[in-house]
Amino acid sequence: MKQSLRAKRIAMAALTAAFTLAFAGCSSGGSSDPEGSDKIVLGYYAGDAPIVYKSVTSYSTYLNAVVAARYGIDSSCAVTGSLPNTELLPFDKANGISTFAGVVNSDGGGFDADLGHSALVTDKDAMIANLVTLTKDGGFDGLNLDFENLYSADRDDYTQFVTELATKLHTGGYKLILSVAAKGAEDPSDDWSYPFDYPAIGKVADLLQLMTYDENGPDWSGPGPIAGADWVEKCIVYATSVVSPSKLLIGLPAYGYDWDLTTYANTGSYPSSFVAWTSFSDWLGKTGAVEHWNDIYLSPSVTYTTEDAHSHEAWFENAKSIEAKTALAKKYELAGISVFALGQEDLSYWQAAMAGLK
């Protein structure tokens, strides 16, 4: 069952990927006060479309950190990929935004456990050297390591790897952000989150970016919130019990998922459907669509029926749900928030996020 869940979450991660004070000492400075907030506000630059860069330039006053999530690794542990827009780094620097190279254990497909093992164990020294070189030669302020779908047996190797990587980066004056699976407790049977030893890695990284999204998804679960506030808070409570809150970012989704209930009833599987924040009105505008609000999840959903008589249930975010989740960062005195992903949101998203942080 766990291996099946792993495979489904790999597919979900691949689907979504297709589309301050803690930073003192970064060469670009970094704004410490985005729109009146004293929190880190990080956005993920994860696509090639011009709208992604436009999002950075349009909402730069809301941001003080950007992760250029454009890099992977191959079987020889060489870093692959490049920035789709060479104007990003100069723009960020001119606007006081710190820029981080985002690296995943993927060679173009989903998150690859074997590539992860090679990087962490077989070719550890070469991988660390290549990541430091990427950060330095690329003109970045630091590195965001986003290794997922790791083998549970590689837990200690991951800790050792990021410990050595952090030392190398810090020697050069660079920062390290680790993207980690969100969890409400330490569970050795959960092979998705167990590889991340929060207490150990929290000591060496500058920030842990908790991926508090994809609580539910159409490829691997029934309908439910993308990031229910109750689940997000449970993850925060655990994380702050073992890591300093000043080192934690929560992740916020700028997307939703659509479940085809009729297809599931007929086949036992849900077809994937990913929709950006800017397209949520398409759901709400469908004939007969009914919007719902859940007082526990603090999340909206919509039910509707298509012309082919298929029943659908979609979960997404709105200004109220985003404000509720960003308020948790303030409540627990976290370092800030991260948004996945730039280009999927609009001004109303940022206004809601700032309202929760103030």
Phi, psi of 132 (to 5 degrees): -65, -40
Beta partners for residue 291, in sequence order: 302
Spatial neighbors of 308 by CB under 8 A, at least 6 apart, are none
Q: What is the pLDDT of residue 121?
A: 98
pLDDT digits (tens, 9 = 90+) for 287-312: 899 999 999 999 999 999 999 999 99
Residue-range domain boundaries for the chain: 2-254+318-357, 260-312
Neighbours of 1 (CB within 10 A): 6
289: left (phi over 0), alpha (psi -120 to 50) or beta: beta
**pLDDT tens profile 8-21:** 444 444 444 443 33
The pLDDT value given to residue 214? 96
Question: What gap in Å lies between CA 254 and CA 341, rounded to an integer?
Answer: 6
The pLDDT value given to residue 36: 62
In this prediction, residue 29 carries a pLDDT of 39
Kindly report the pTM of this predicted structure: 0.92
- Beta-strand relationship, 299-305 and 336-340: unpaired
Contact 311, 303 (CB under 8 A): yes
- Tell me what pLDDT residue 34 has: 79
SS3 per residue for the chain: CHHHHHHHHHHHHHHHHHCCCCCCCCCCCCCCCHHHCCCEEEEEECCCCHHHHHHHHHCHHHCCEEEEEEEEECCCCCEECCCCCCCHHHHHHHCCCEEEEEEECCCCCCCCHHHHHHHHHHCHHHHHHHHHHHHHHCCCCEEEEECCCCCHHHHHHHHHHHHHHHHHHHHCCCEEEEEEECCCCCCCCCCCCCCCCHHHHHHHCCEEEEECCCCCCCCCCCCCCCCCHHHHHHHHHHHHHHCCHHHEEEEEECEEEEEEHHHHHHHCCCCCCEEEHHHHHHHHCCCCCEEEEECCCCEEEEEEECCCCCEEEEECCCHHHHHHHHHHHHHCCCCEEEEECCCCCCHHHHHHHHHHHC
In SS3 terms, 340-357 reads as ECCCCCCHHHHHHHHHHH
Q: How far apart are CA 8 and CA 27, in angstroms?
A: 40
Radius of gyration of the chain (CA): 19
pLDDT of amino acid 2? 36
What CATH architecture applies to the domain 2-254+318-357? Alpha-Beta Barrel (3.20)
Q: Would residue 87 show up in a list of annotated catalytic residues for this protein?
A: no
Task: Name beta bridge partners: 315.
Answer: 257, 301
Instruction: Pick out the chain residues at pLDDT < 70.
Output: 1-33, 36
- 35, 148, 313, 323: the active-site residue: 148
Q: Letter for the amino acid at 84?
A: P
- Pairing type for strands 40-45 and 65-73 reads parallel
- Residue 311: burial class (beta carbons within 10 Å; 0-12, 13-18, 19+): middle
